[in-house]
Structure 1
């Protein structure tokens, strides 16, 4: 099995960013460093045209799993550094091809040479290495325009670098290049997908999750943290902000008409999210609302709820079908967890007949009957902030705690 020595990372949209390109590349390098922080032997060298990751013995298979989830990477290739001799080039090229070639595939050799003093030029190397491969691999076919495999030979000053895989990353922008925002995370399917899409556009998000003990269980809170841990694979770390919401829900249920319970609850959630955004230096609020999906997500409801803030509220999945959202949730690994039956605070206090077309003036009137500032201040005083990293376990820990209590 080939022992790769480095990975060549190619940028995607960064190539269009002009004067900001250097900052974007620096941010990408920082994000790659975070997701590979448990491989201290690795060296990362960000350059203008590409990033070089020197493995120094680290296993490419593990690095590959991490790089597939880093936004801002268009493609990358594992490479082998070898001495600058024709014998080494031919021998290693054959090993690479035998590892990746399958019957019926086509190939081409593509040589680039920055060391112009090397004894063979690009055409000579293309021909000699191609002939060597034809002599040692049966049924090999050349294709110059659209080959299945491109064997890339780069002759640099220090050595020769060989690669023949082109692995696609997730694209997008490096997380953090678009600024910071708050994400309103429930335990459902939509908001984790919205979180993923926000990060793909370079937004550095912090999760705000509302919980209502004793009505919601510790498992529901653990589920939201577990979802955050899955999403942290795409950026290295996400702060999770748990907001106590039971007093607000109890007060609304006791004092206001049933039809407006959901509308007023959502207005409080948005006000709290906005307070947290301001404290944390965020520029916007994101959520997982999809137009018309539930009563609180009709356009009339959005008007009545958004009334409490002038901060931009961005809804990445607003126009997506449910089937599209589910497909993306499956792709990013959040779907199976999202459908686990641990009820969140939106579910347990949901009225049987919520207003689908609430009136803005009524929403303001009902909310004014409450001690809005006092309720918000007490909720803000009880928030808990937890930094969450990739692949942490929360649900398993909670199950173990429950068993210990039995």
Structure 2
């Protein structure tokens, strides 16, 4: 049997004259994701991407796992391809899916005939193949509404493709087709989810993290590196920029009103992130803020934060509650790492009673009383460490 992986387009199929650009980008991503698994022939036809192994011994389980996490594919399936001959289709379906049919009680056959030269109509193929399989498994019965298993046959240009139920893909658009942005990766639950959601909309990503030793430890930095690596399974390889933020943070603590500390710190971080983002060619910043989740995420506080720099700030979690965010973090396998109890510089020096409705005028007045802050921010940006994160890397964190 010749097994292949099929990836089905979703939103991309609605594109117009630029659709081929999205398809070419996705083709490049699929080649990159599979190159360490083995040699594959990858091509696109009839709104479907085909990934055919060209050598023996390829781990198809690993290949399928890699492909299922690629943005741009609405569904994926492992299929076997055979000649467009009814008897061959029957034998191949039994050989490929017969074991799956042995553990169930109800099934259904679905057929799609893209190649209209095939002599049987879709209903005829469903009826006759269903009868053949019932003859092989007489304990089964057909349930067209809620079957336990689906046998799917697709008659396409290059052959007959036989597979079980499609597996939902990640959907969205191929990473990189919507530009590039810099994600503020704090080490908590929210920011990896924000990265995932914006990559799903086609943004290529780098990350920036603010470390404040000795208040934050090397283990906290390793935790953030692990989170960047876990999200790279979806977003692709990226850069992690680690900013030495101790001196600007201490300066703000020592020279600003305590109730304004959090917003002033956020503005400072945004200015540094702006510098790094522009050097990297990023067109926006991403944060994991959710409206009114904490004092720095009220409408007034967000207004003050946005005014600190001139890049768009994307907040994909702004209307999500914590339960929804946690659900997504579990889906992308970052939750257990995010909740590890290592320090986050955003939470040190946090005042007991931060102001939740700051006015921009009072923020600007407070910054005017800190004339050395700009130089400290420029120094922190200059001393930023760049770490390359690759999706195949293993972060030794346990």
Name the TM-score, length of structure 1 as normaliser: 0.90
1-structure distance, mates of 2:373, 2:60: 55
Among 27, 30, 33, the alignment partner of 1:29 is 27
Contact 2:80 2:96 in 1 (8 A): no
Query: 1:404 is matched with which residue?
Result: none
DSSP 3-state at the match of 1:181 = strand
2-structure distance, mates of 1:198, 1:109: 35
Q: Structure 1's 252 and 153: CA in aligned 2 closer, same or farther, altered over 3 A?
A: closer
Q: Structure 1's 82 and 295: CA in aligned 2 closer, same or farther, altered over 3 A?
A: same
Contact 1:207 1:240 in 2 (8 A): yes
2-structure distance, mates of 1:322, 1:155: 45
> Is 262-271 or 75-84 further displaced after alignment?
75-84
Query: 1:320 is matched with which residue?
Result: 320
Q: Structure 1's 299 and 170: CA in aligned 2 closer, same or farther, altered over 3 A?
A: same
Contact 1:106 1:149 in 2 (8 A): yes
Query: 1:382 is matched with which residue?
Result: 383
1-structure distance, mates of 2:112, 2:318: 47
Correspondence list, 1:189-200, <5 A: 189-200=189-200
Displacement of 1:155 in angstroms is 5.9
Displacement of 1:122 in angstroms is 4.1
DSSP 3-state at the match of 2:347 = helix
CA RMSD between the two structures: 2.2
2-structure distance, mates of 1:42, 1:323: 40
2-structure distance, mates of 1:295, 1:257: 15
**Cα shift readout 1:247-274 (whole Å, capped 9, x = no counterpart):** 1011111222222221211111011111
Query: 1:103 is matched with which residue?
Result: 104
2-structure distance, mates of 1:25, 1:72: 9
Correspondence list, 1:174-189, <5 A: 174-189=174-189
Correspondence list, 1:384-403, <5 A: 384-390=385-391, 392-396=393-397
Whether 2:353 is the aligned partner of 1:353: answer yes
**Cα shift readout 1:352-391 (whole Å, capped 9, x = no counterpart):** 2222222211211111222233112101111111221225
Correspondence list, 1:137-152, <5 A: 137-142=137-142, 148-152=149-153
DSSP 3-state at the match of 1:310 = coil
> Is 126-135 or 66-75 further displaced after alignment?
126-135
Query: 2:231 is matched with which residue?
Result: 231
Query: 1:46 is matched with which residue?
Result: 44
2-structure distance, mates of 1:374, 1:113: 65
Q: Structure 1's 344 and 155: CA in aligned 2 closer, same or farther, altered over 3 A?
A: closer
> Is 187-196 or 40-49 further displaced after alignment?
40-49
Query: 1:11 is matched with which residue?
Result: 9
Displacement of 1:105 in angstroms is 1.9
Displacement of 1:166 in angstroms is 1.4
Contact 1:74 1:169 in 2 (8 A): yes
Q: Mark the runs of 5 or more structure 1 residues left unpaired by the alignment.
A: 400-406
2-structure distance, mates of 1:182, 1:146: 45
Contact 1:35 1:233 in 2 (8 A): no
